[in-house]
Amino acid sequence: MSHTIDPTPLINDPAREAVDPMRGYSYQILRSVEAWLGLGDGEILVLEGAEDLDQIGPGHAVTEQVKDTAGTGNLTLRSANALSAIGHFWAHKLRNPGVALQFRYLTTSGVGQERGEGLNLSLPGIDAWEAIRRAPTTAASVEHAGRIKAYLATCDVLPQSLRDFLAAASVEAFIADLVQPFAWITGQPDVSELQGRIEARLIELGDRKHIGAAAAAGALAPLYLAAWSNATLHDRPPLRRGDLLRIFEEAGTAKVSGDVLVDLIRQATGHPPGRASVTHGDLAVTMPPRAPKRRFARPELEAAIAKAVTAGVAQIHGSTGTGKTMLAAAAEPSTVGWIDLRDLPPAAALARLRAAVAHVESRETKTTIVIDDLDPGDDPRSFLPVLQQLSGSLAASGGGLLVTSAHRLPPRLAGAIGLDEPSTFTAPFFNDTEIASYFIAGGCPPGDAENWSKIVHASTSGHPQLVDARLSALQQQNWPMPAITEWVAPTAEMVDVRVEARRMVAALPQDQREMLYRASLVMGRISRKRLIAVGQIAPEIAEPGMTIDRLTGPWLEVTDTSDLRASPLLSGIGVATLGQRWSEDMHAAIAWAWLSDPTLSPGDVATLLMHAALSKQMGPLVRLLPSLLDAAPGVWQEIGDTAGIFWMFGVDDGYDTPFSTAIDRAVFRILQLRIAAAGRTSEAPGIIRRALKEANERADGDVAADFFDFQFLWQVMQLGVVTGDIKAAVDIGVRLRRAAERVKAGIASLDADPVIPDIFSELASVFAMTLLPSLSGMADFRALLDIVEELGPDDRRFILGGSSGEHDAPAMILDTVWVGEDQRSDRDWKALAVELERAFALALQSDLPVFADSAAARLVRTLDQDLNDAAAALTAADKALEELGRQPRLLARQSEGSLPARRNGRLARHLQRDPADIPHVGVLSRGNLA
C-alpha cells in the first residue's frame, strides 16, 4: 500500500517576507473600492496619483493616503509618517494652485500622546488638530494651533518652503491653509471589517437595483480586481461611477444566488434548507412592559383603577401617547397577564384573544388580564364573543380585566363584558403645576421650573409624551435658561400633537433625528438588536446603541416583550422630512437589517412583507423563501392571521402589485398563495389566475424567474387548492412540466454542493396524485380523457402519470374513478368500460405502458365483476396481453402471485399462465381479478 506524505514548505528567511507590505496594498485597494462606491456624478477616481487615491470633481479634489499600520503603534505629530504626509500635502498645494485641495490621512492606527519637549499640549496633537478643524475660532483652538505651528517650524524633515510659511504666517493663516484642509482619519477598521463594510454597501446598492444580497456582495471580487489592475497600469485611465455600475451589474445578472435556488429544490423534496427558521409567534399572554426610566406617578388615579379591576372590569382610554399603557402597568404591577394588540390586524388580534381564553381557562389560580390597545373598529361584533368568554372566565376565577384603547368601548361591547361608567377612566394630560414638579424631579433648577412648565404646557397642551420628550431634550441641553422666544404663543397648528412632535424631533442632535426617522418606518415592534442594525445602515449612525438608549422613553416605547416600538406620534415623520425616494430605499434596507436576528416569528414575516411592498422589492424574502415554505402548518396559520391583508394585493384586473421585476412578482405570488391557503382558500383561484397571466407575459430566458414559476406551481399542487376543475388542474400540470424542463436546463449551470436532489424523474407520478380529488366518477374521467387527447405527447404522458413503473399513480387514478362511480346511485358501468378501453388505447398511443397496464386490468375487472360479463372480460384480457406484448420497451415482470380461481375457470387459467409465456403482464398479474 502506498502512503501519501503531505508536502512541507521550504525553510525561509522571515526577514524577506513581504506579508506586511502585501497586507498594506490589499487594504489600499479595498479602500479604493470603497471610495469608488462613493463617487458622485461627474467625479473621477485616480489611483496612485498624487496620493494612493485622488477623488476629483469640478473645482475640487480630495487626495488620500492610506495606511494599515495598526500593528506598528499609534500615530502622533512626531511620527515620521505624519510629518511626511504634511510635507506631501504642502507639495501638492504648490503644484496645483487654484484647486480647492483637501488631504486625508487614513490609518488603522490609533492616536498617541507626543512625548518630549517642543509640543506642550494637554491632549494628543492629532486630537488637537481635529478639534481645531471642528471649531477653528475658539480660544483653545487658536492656542493649540499656535503651539503646533511653532513645533512644525522646527521639524527639519518638512520642506523648506513649508517651514518658511510657518515662520511667517499668522496662526489664522496656518489654520486656514494647513489645518482645515488636512484631516486625520484614525482608528479605521482592519481588512476584514473594511471588507464587511463594503459588502454591506454593495448589498444596499443591489437592493436598489433588484440584485440579490449574495450576488451583490460577490461583486466585491471583480471590483477589487479591476481596481488592482488599474493601479498597476502606467498609462491608467481614471475610474468613474459608470465603470463600477457596469462591473456590479455584470456580477449580479443572475439576480438570485444559486444557493437560494438549490434550497428551493431541497425544500420541495423535503430536505430542510437549513437557513433562518420561522417559528411560532409570541405568547398570547406575557408579562407587563418594563417601566420606563422615569414617569409621573398618579397614585390616586392608579388606586382607583386597581379598585375597579378588583371589582371586575375597567377601561382606560385616551389618545396616542397619553400614557395608557404605563398607567395600566402601574395600576396592576404584579400577578397580571398582558395581551398587547398594538398594530395587529383584526384576525391576528382575535387569534391572540382566543389563545388568551385558553390560557386563563387552563389555570386554576386567580388571574388578572390587561388587554392593551384594543381597537374593535367600526363593527365590534366579531370581538364580542371572545371578549365575553374571556371576561366570563376571569370572573369565574375571581380575576379582573383591564382594557386600554383610544376611545370608549361601544355600549354593546361594554355591556357584554360588564363595564360600567364609574370603571371607565380617561388618561389625563399634564397641567402646568404637574409639569413643574416633573421637571424638578428631572433635574430642572426649581427657579426655572415654573417658567419652563408654562412654556412647555403652552406648546404641548400638556400631552404626556410630548412633555416627556421636551424634558429629555432639556436635560441633554443641561437645562438652559428659558429664552424670550420660547414665550411666543403657539399657533393653532402647534396644538396638533404630531406637528409639535415633529418640531421637537427637528431640534434633536443629528444622530437622534436620523434614528427616529428610520424607526418611524418600522412596522410594529422591533428588537434592540435589529434596531441597532437599522442604525448601521449607510450612512451609519456613529453609536446606534447609545442613541437608542437616549431615545427610549420619550420616543421609543418598551413593549411587553422588551422590544422597542416607535411612538405613534412619529408616524410619517421620516417620509415627510426626507421624501418618498429615501423612504423606499430605507424600507428595503430595514428589511435586510431585520435578518440580523435569523429567528423569525410569523409577525416578522408580515413585517418583512410590508417593508417589501413599501420598498417595491422583495429583497430578503427571496433569501428566506426556502425556510418560509418549510415552516409548519401551524406557523403558516399564524402568518395568515398577521399578514392576511396581502391575499388581496394585485389580484383583481386593473390592480397591480407594487413590484416591477419578474422575480419580485413571482416570489410575492408564492407567499400570497400560501397566505390565502392558510385562511382564505376561496381567494386562491384568483391569485393563481393572476400569477399565470404574469408568467405568460414574461420574457423567456430568465432562469431565476423559471425557478419561481416552478415553485409557485409546485405550491399549487402541494396545497391542493385546485380541485373539482379538471381543466384547471390539467393546465397546472402542463405548466408544471414545462417549467420543470426549463428548471432542469438551468440547474446544470448551478455550482451546487451537495448535489441537488432530483425531483423531476418522479414529478409526473406526484402530480397524478393531485388529480384524485377532482375525479369523482366516470363523467370526470371522460372529461380528463377529452382534455388529454388534445395535448402533445410529452404533456399527455406527464398528466397520466409518466412512464415510470416505480409508483402506482395510474392505478390509483383508475381506482379513484372506479370508487367514485361505485358510490353513485346512477352507476353507469358500461360507459366506464368504454372510457377504460379508450384510456387503454390512448396510453398505448402515448407510450404509457404503466397506464395501459392499469387501464387494461381495471377494464377486465369492470367487465367481469361489475357487468358480470366474463366472456367480454376474457376477450379484453386477450387483447390487452396481445397489445402490451407488442410494446418493444416492455420487460416481463416477475409475477407477484397467482390468481385464485374464479367462477369462470377459463378466464382464471388464461390469466394464470406462466409469466414466461406472457411478454408483459404487469398489473394483470397482481390479483386485480381476485
Question: What local confidence, expressed as pLDDT, does residue 263 receive?
Answer: 60
Sign of torsion over alpha carbons 671, 675, 681, 687: negative
Question: What local confidence, expressed as pLDDT, does residue 101 receive?
Answer: 94
Q: Which residues 6+ apart lie within 8 Å of 492 measured at CB? A: none
Question: What local confidence, expressed as pLDDT, does residue 887 receive?
Answer: 40
> Does the pLDDT at position 225 exceed 50?
yes
> Does the pLDDT at position 457 exceed 60?
yes
> Does the pLDDT at position 91 exceed 90?
yes
DSSP code string of 727-757:
HHHHHHHHHHHHHHHHHHHHHTT---SSPPP
Question: What local confidence, expressed as pLDDT, does residue 276 receive?
Answer: 57
Question: What local confidence, expressed as pLDDT, does residue 3 receive?
Answer: 52
> Does the pLDDT at position 491 exceed 80?
no
CB 596 within 8 A of CB 533: yes
> Does the pLDDT at position 300 exceed 70?
yes
- The C-alpha atoms of residue 773 and residue 696 are separated, in whole angstroms, by 27
- The C-alpha atoms of residue 178 and residue 88 are separated, in whole angstroms, by 12
Question: What local confidence, expressed as pLDDT, does residue 335 receive?
Answer: 60
DSSP 8-state class, residue 866: I
Q: What angle do CA 5, 9, 15 make, to 5 degrees?
A: 165
Residue 754, preceding peptide bond in cis (omega within 30° of 0): yes
What would the mean pLDDT of 489-517 be, rounded to a whole number?
74
Question: What local confidence, expressed as pLDDT, does residue 82 receive?
Answer: 95
Instruction: Give the residue among 440, 437, 433, 394 at the shortest CA–CA distance from 417.
Output: 394
Query: In terms of C-beta density within 10 A (0-12 exposed, 13-18 middle, 19 or more buried), how is residue 41 classed?
Result: exposed
Question: What local confidence, expressed as pLDDT, does residue 210 receive?
Answer: 62
Question: What local confidence, expressed as pLDDT, does residue 462 receive?
Answer: 82
Question: What local confidence, expressed as pLDDT, does residue 126 receive?
Answer: 95
Of 163-177, 440-454, 517-531, 820-834, where does the model show the most confidence? 163-177
What would the mean pLDDT of 18-27 be, rounded to a whole number?
82
> Does the pLDDT at position 719 exceed 90?
no
Of 267-271, 484-488, 653-657, 861-865, where does the model show the most confidence? 861-865
For residue 118 the three cell numbers come to: 517642543
Alpha-helix runs per DSSP H in 298-445: 299-311, 324-331, 346-361, 384-396, 411-417, 432-441
Question: What local confidence, expressed as pLDDT, does residue 911 receive?
Answer: 40
* pLDDT grade for 897, boundaries at 50, 70 and 90: very low
Are β-strands 53-57 and 60-67 bridged in parallel, bridged antiparallel, or unpaired? antiparallel
Are β-strands 100-107 and 368-372 bridged in parallel, bridged antiparallel, or unpaired? unpaired
* pLDDT grade for 785, boundaries at 50, 70 and 90: very high
CB 457 within 8 A of CB 432: yes
Write down how long the chain is: 930
* pLDDT grade for 493, boundaries at 50, 70 and 90: very low
**Which percentage of the chain shows pLDDT scores above 70?**
85
What would the mean pLDDT of 364-377 be, rounded to a whole number?
86
Determine how many CB atoms are found less than 10 A away from the CB of residue 778.
Answer: 23
Sign of torsion over alpha carbons 833, 834, 835, 836: positive
What would the mean pLDDT of 406-417 be, rounded to a whole number?
89
CB 553 within 8 A of CB 292: yes
Determine how many CB atoms are found less than 10 A away from the CB of residue 426.
Answer: 14
Question: What local confidence, expressed as pLDDT, does residue 913 receive?
Answer: 35
Structural element, H or E, at residue 262: helix 258-268
> Does the pLDDT at position 129 exceed 90?
yes
DSSP code string of 50-102:
SSSEEEEETTEEEEEEEE--GGG--B-TTSHHHHHHHHHHHHHHHHSTTSEEE
Question: Between residues 788 and 805, which one has the greater pLDDT?
Answer: 788
> Does the pLDDT at position 915 exceed 60?
no
For residue 894 the three cell numbers come to: 416477475
What would the mean pLDDT of 762-773 be, rounded to a whole number?
78
HSE (side-chain half, CA atoms, 13 Å) at 590: 30
What would the mean pLDDT of 141-164 be, rounded to a whole number?
94
Question: What local confidence, expressed as pLDDT, does residue 739 receive?
Answer: 86
> Does the pLDDT at position 498 exceed 80?
no
Instruction: Give the residue among 441, 446, 395, 438 at the shortest CA–CA distance from 416.
Output: 395
- 579 strand-pairing partners: none
3-state secondary structure of 591: helix
Determine how many CB atoms are found less than 10 A away from the CB of residue 95.
Answer: 10
Structural element, H or E, at residue 21: helix 19-37
Question: What local confidence, expressed as pLDDT, does residue 660 receive?
Answer: 77
Q: For all residues of the chain together, what is the average pLDDT?
A: 82
State phi, psi for 495 to the nearest 5 degrees: -65, -30
Question: Between residues 408 and 290, which one has the greater pLDDT?
Answer: 408
What would the mean pLDDT of 528-551 be, rounded to a whole number?
92
The tens digit of pLDDT for each residue in 641-679 reads 888 778 888 888 888 888 878 888 889 999 999 989 887
What would the mean pLDDT of 1-25 be, rounded to a whole number?
75
Least confident of 84-93, 257-266, 321-330: 257-266
Residue type, 223: L
The tens digit of pLDDT for each residue in 212-221 reads 676 788 889 9
Question: Between residues 373 and 319, which one has the greater pLDDT?
Answer: 373
The full 3-state SS of 400-442, as one line of letters, equals: CEEEEECCCCCHHHHHHHCCCHHHEEECCCCCHHHHHHHHHHC
HSE (side-chain half, CA atoms, 13 Å) at 564: 24
Q: Which residues 6+ apart lie within 8 Å of 112 measured at CB? A: 73, 74, 75, 76, 124, 126
Question: What local confidence, expressed as pLDDT, does residue 918 receive?
Answer: 30
What would the mean pLDDT of 389-413 be, rounded to a whole number?
89
Q: Spell out a b/e string for 234-271, using b for 16 or more CB atoms within 10 Å of the CB, else e.
A: eeeeebbbebbeebbeebbebbbbbbbbbbbbbbbeeb
> Does the pLDDT at position 488 exceed 80?
no
The tens digit of pLDDT for each residue in 248-281 reads 877 654 345 555 555 655 555 455 555 556 666 5
Question: What local confidence, expressed as pLDDT, does residue 282 receive?
Answer: 61
Instruction: Give the residue among 586, 596, 600 at the shortest CA–CA distance from 642.
Output: 600
Residue type, 112: G
CB 113 within 8 A of CB 124: yes
* pLDDT grade for 751, boundaries at 50, 70 and 90: low
> Does the pLDDT at position 543 exceed 60?
yes
* pLDDT grade for 78, boundaries at 50, 70 and 90: very high
What would the mean pLDDT of 701-707 be, rounded to a whole number?
75
DSSP 8-state class, residue 818: H
For residue 484 the three cell numbers come to: 424670550
- The C-alpha atoms of residue 913 and residue 917 are separated, in whole angstroms, by 7
> Does the pLDDT at position 157 exceed 90?
yes
Question: What local confidence, expressed as pLDDT, does residue 163 receive?
Answer: 94
Question: What local confidence, expressed as pLDDT, does residue 214 receive?
Answer: 66
* pLDDT grade for 147, boundaries at 50, 70 and 90: very high
